[in-house]
Amino acid sequence: MRRLVWSLMSVAALALAGCSNSSQPSEGGSEGNAAQTPAQANQITGQVTLRDATQVSASAKLELTLVDQTTPDAAPLATKTVEPANTFPLQFQVPFNAADVNPNDMYVIKATLIDGDRHYNPPLQTMVLTKGAPTQVSIQLAAEQTQGEKELAAFTAVQKQIGGMKISSGTKLEDKVSRGWQVFREAGEVKFIREEVDYGDKGFTSTDYAYKDGKPWVVVQQKKSSKDAKPSSTERAAWAQDGSLVLKTHDAGGKTSPLSDDDAASLQKQSQTILGLATNGKGK
């Protein structure tokens, strides 16, 4: 009888122990799974590199923008500016509010490096966040032409076409200065003037002037000790349609440096002077 009582007591104790254990969450229960669920991403991270081994200045800055590509007019989800941005590869983090992300939309992280007049942009867009796109990316930037370089390239294209334009010429003798020019017209409008000026023992200049709508557009002037000598320097200046100066360079001794604003203004004045001289003040 005593053995039966002890056996019943043992069974009851085990039953109570089982009830006590079942009230605690197991490692495989819902609370355990919740603890293992990763937090939703709240920043875009990555690195930026340059396609070419280009030196950028200490004033360069990197602008990063997270935008909803599905709704282009919407305000950016996040923006960040990194400066100075002159050491590459450059690491970045762009925090954003995860609640603003619509899983059905497409998102892009835009990166632009700005160094003076030069901009660097990626050839392809960098998708992030949704539709399988990552939150950690690598972005490669390529240099784009400056406005001045674009004008100079367009000038070179016109320069190659002057052989098919209507040509007229003229000369003028001044005190110790001999001046000659050729005017190139298309559809009755002056497109190009090539001028040579002999200053005697003070040197010689050969200058190409290009015009748009009767206004100075691009000037390239070579300075020499004499007509047959090699150029000692080459100055270039270009103006946008609104008249703003977008190119000013001075090449001498194998080095390029900025042309001063005064020298650029002098080239512009020379362009206006020869246009008036070559067209008898008509400008065309």
pLDDT in tens, 112-163: 999 999 999 999 999 999 999 999 999 999 999 999 999 999 999 999 999 9
Residue 268: phi and psi, rounded to 5, are: -65, -40
The overall pTM is greater than 0.75: no
Sheet holding 189-198, edge to edge: 166-174, 177-186, 189-198, 204-212, 215-224, 233-239, 245-252, 255-258
Task: Tell me the CA end-to-end span of the chain in Å, nearest whole number.
Answer: 131
If you average pLDDT over residues 242-248, what whole number do you get?
94
- pLDDT, tens digit (0-9, with 9 covering 90-100), for 78-124: 999 999 999 999 999 999 999 999 999 999 999 999 999 999 999 99
57-61, 71-75, 202-206: which has the minimum mean pLDDT?
71-75
Q: Is the pLDDT of residue 13 over 90?
A: no
Q: Is the pLDDT of residue 170 over 90?
A: yes
Q: Is the pLDDT of residue 29 over 90?
A: no
- pLDDT, tens digit (0-9, with 9 covering 90-100), for 195-217: 999 999 999 999 999 999 999 99
Q: 52 pLDDT band (50/70/90 cuts)?
A: confident
Q: 40 pLDDT band (50/70/90 cuts)?
A: low
Lookup result for tokens 């002077």: 273
CA-to-CA separations, 259 to 55, 124, 136, 201, 220, in angstroms, rounded: 21, 35, 43, 25, 12
Q: 7 pLDDT band (50/70/90 cuts)?
A: very low
- Pairwise CA distance, residues 107 & 128, whole Å: 6
Residue 203: phi and psi, rounded to 5, are: 115, -170
Q: 53 pLDDT band (50/70/90 cuts)?
A: confident
- Pairwise CA distance, residues 17 & 180, whole Å: 113
Lookup result for tokens 């065309």: 284
- State the pLDDT at residue 15: 42
- Which percentage of the chain shows pLDDT scores above 70? 86
Element (H, E) at 81: strand 78-82
Q: 4 pLDDT band (50/70/90 cuts)?
A: very low
- Which percentage of the chain shows pLDDT scores above 90? 80
- State the pLDDT at residue 260: 96
C-alpha triplet 283, 185, 205: angle, nearest 5°: 75
- Residue pair 202/226 in contact (Cβ under 8 Å)? The answer is no
